[in-house]
Amino acid sequence: MDIGIEYSVLSSGYRRYGERRFEVIREHGFTYLDYGMSTTSGILYDPPMAEAEKFLREEKRRIEEAGLGISQVHGPWRYPPLDGTPEDRAERLEKMERSLWMTSVLGCKNWIIHPLMPFTTKDMDLGKEKETWEINADFFPKVLEIAKSYDITICFENMPMRRFSISTPEDILRFVHLMNDDHFKVCLDTGHVNVYDSLSIGDSVRLLGKELRTLHVHDNSRGMDLHQMPFFGTLNWKELADALYEIGYDGVFSLETAPPAALPDPLHDEAGRFLFRVANRIINE
């Protein structure tokens, strides 16, 4: 199983290496990136598409020359959510369409996205579960049509919001079955599972089975979405690895954590190498 790492806000410490940033990630042992497009402003979303394309093609060249691949892209996400009106959702669709196009420019086939949250992250407290599902069920076929035009698979991610009605792996799987398309699968976020005292990471993997396409791997201490390195929280890593092998998962073991950007240069380098060794130990012990 190949090991990847996210490249966005959490991994900002790698930017200290300048033009060698991707080479350093590869030197630390990683072979794939989860390329972040979550932020809906800046070089990816603000300039004309031709300018964004030029930037992305240069990024792709540097990534490939460093010996890395892009296993997945994280689509646009805003917090707090802004999905409550038809105008909000039209803007979200526009951003998602641009993100899918940019994913195709990078040559990546997996695009990770969160559910819409039109009634905040606590729709269950407002009695709006039915409306939340209806809005998502109306919205995502439009996104799916765009994704299929690029032969990209949407990977619907489980959430850490315990009062939101499309959060748990079971909720996500039910929505994926509702979409009923080979281009609509699941991204399992291990830390998001671990915020629930009642959920087992192994059972969650086995529940998803063949629908599991991508991973976001990180740790926490239950209740909070902390994006800690493995073994710094309470997640059962042997249980996760055993379940992944049991279902025949053949994707990338992609970390959504990284060495802290505040570390001084020598320590950041050591931390990157250490993080890779930890991930390698989990899947190969």
**Residue 53 CB-density burial (10 A; 0-12 exposed, 13-18 middle, 19+ buried):** middle
Return the CATH architecture of domain 3-284. Answer: Alpha-Beta Barrel (3.20)
Q: Nearest to residue 72, comparing CAs of 154, 177, 166? A: 154
- pLDDT by residue, tens only, the chain of 285 residues: 999 999 998 999 999 999 999 999 999 999 999 999 999 999 999 999 999 999 999 999 999 999 999 999 999 999 999 999 999 999 999 999 999 999 999 999 999 999 999 999 999 999 999 999 999 999 999 999 999 999 999 999 999 999 999 999 999 999 999 999 999 999 999 999 999 999 999 999 999 999 999 999 999 998 889 999 999 999 999 999 999 999 999 999 999 999 999 999 999 999 999 999 999 999 997
* Exposure class string for 196-210: b at 16+ Cβ within 10 A, else e: beebbbbebbbbbee
d(CA 164, CA 128): 9
Q: pTM for the full model?
A: 0.97
